[in-house]
Amino acid sequence: MAVDEAILQSIGQNRSLPTLRLYAWSPPCLSIGYAQPCADVDRQKLHYFGWDWVRRPTGGRAILHTDELTYSVIAPSTEPRLAGGVLESYQRLSRALLAALFSLGIPAISNPINPPSPPRNTQAICFEVPSNYEIVISGKKLIGSAQARRKEGVLQHGSLPLLGDLTRITGVLVYADESAREEARWRLLAHATTVETVLGRPLSWDAAANAFINAFQSELNLDLLQDELTGQEISAARELVKDKYGHPSWLQRI
């Protein structure tokens, strides 16, 4: 999360180009949304499993980042592909996300909810909560995304679960009792899925990443250049870990 924000800062200072970043997490990490209560997190269970937790700069509910491809798109607000409001720019980026899935043999769609459902704040898990124009396959959510807009520019990031048991997240969240935890497991399986479940076979992170790269280039008319983080971005990310993303004042702000 600190790296995403460091790139956003650098772009706002005209030091970095608009960026598509593809990454994974080690060890697994529970991320909660900007406005999600930290009381949703069972920190004792996280410690038991050896997993991390972080608060995202974007909204939404909890995601367990493991066995997935995570993407972020970071650009100045003047970037034409991110022009308009949140929904308009999200739909534009979704064309690339859908093209990537199609190239992998996954005929997903961007599903409108008319009218959009109100947020169900009683549910702690992102993939349980429907959002307008979310990317689904056979009615189940496959990519969860969120966007933040700052004076420096726009950050959108999201998660594509590749394989594994989606219900693992319920083991590190707080529920009233075990019956409520079990209900959350069933709800999650009813509303979300993984690439492995859809395809009937595992898909490597590299294969998914290459599909994203090709789709973003073709659908958004981009010429992507592979690069490393700059020294300034690395330094800014370290400061953000120390002063923000690893600090109780951010993690426990709510």
What is the CATH number for 58?
Answer: 3.30.930.10
Q: What is the pLDDT of residue 204?
A: 98
Residues of the chain with pLDDT under 70: 114-123, 129-130
- What was the pLDDT predicted at 66? 97
What is the predicted pLDDT for the residue at 114?
59
Q: Decide if 242 is inside a domain.
A: no
Cis ω before 76 (30° cut-off from 0): no
**What's the pLDDT at 118?**
46
Establish if 14 belongs to a structural domain.
yes
pTM: 0.93
The residues that are catalytic are 126
Say which residue the tokens 């990317």 belong to.
135
Q: Would residue 252 count as lying in a domain?
A: no
The pLDDT value recorded for residue 119 is 46
Question: CA–CA separation, 92 vs 180, rounded Å?
Answer: 37
Distance CA(172)–CA(217), nearest Å, equals 37
Residue 14 to residue 70: CA distance in whole angstroms: 25
Residue 99 belongs to a domain: yes
Dist. CA 137–CA 161, nearest whole Å: 13
- pLDDT recorded at residue 121: 47
Closest CA to 162 of 212, 128, 112: 212
Asked whether residue 159 is assigned to any structural domain, the reply reads yes
* Count of structural domains within the chain: 1
24 in a domain, yes or no? yes
22 found inside a domain: yes
Structure tokens at 46: 């996280």
Q: Which domain holds residue 150?
A: 2-221
**Does the residue 232 lie in any domain?**
no
